[in-house]
Structure 1
Amino acid sequence: MACEEVMAALDECHARGFLWRCMGMCNTAKHNVNMCLRAERLERTRKNREAAKIKNAEIRKIWAEIDENS
């Protein structure tokens, strides 16, 4: 997972204690984790969309062949 380092930094910040978190000292680390996870999600979505387009094209080709032979 590409976000392990960013998550570890957030864990270290949280380990400093409750008051440290309450004072907003971990907000930057939390934001970095959110942005990293968002980037991974967007990349996964892009790959899934590409795979779906390829699969749909194959299905349309098969249906076109079925229609021609019917």
Structure 2
Amino acid sequence: MTALEECHARGFLWKSMGMCNDAKHQVTLCLRAERLKRTAANREAAKVKREKVKKVWAEIDENS
């Protein structure tokens, strides 16, 4: 992100001529990787929570 900010700080011509595209691409790849890790963690947490709720409902049905 720092490289992209530095490139953008060089001025309008650098941005308009596509000189910052490589830095932008690297930032995009990095953010995508972070998002995928976060999504996987959220999916796993939801799976655990779903199993817990399912177990509680099974106990409720069993005791009714």
For Structure 1 versus Structure 2, the TM-score category normalised by the shorter chain is over 0.9
Shift of 1:16: 0.9
Q: Which residue of 2 aligns with 1:30?
A: 24
Shift of 1:23: 0.8
CA deviations over 1:28-66 (Å, ceiling 9, x no partner): 000111111111111111000000000000000000011
Give the whole-Å Cα distance in 2 for the aligned partners of 1:69 and 1:21: 67
Q: Which residue of 2 aligns with 1:42?
A: 36
Structure 1: 4+ residue segments shifted above 6 A: none
CA deviations over 1:9-39 (Å, ceiling 9, x no partner): 0001111111011110000000111111111
Identity %: 72
TM value normalised by structure 1: 0.88
Matches within 5 A, 1:8-27: 8-27=2-21
TM value normalised by structure 2: 0.96
Give the whole-Å Cα distance in 2 for the aligned partners of 1:25 and 1:50: 40
| Stretches of structure 2 lacking an aligned partner (at least 5 in a row) | none
Give the whole-Å Cα distance in 2 for the aligned partners of 1:18 and 1:55: 49
Q: Which residue of 2 aligns with 1:67?
A: 61
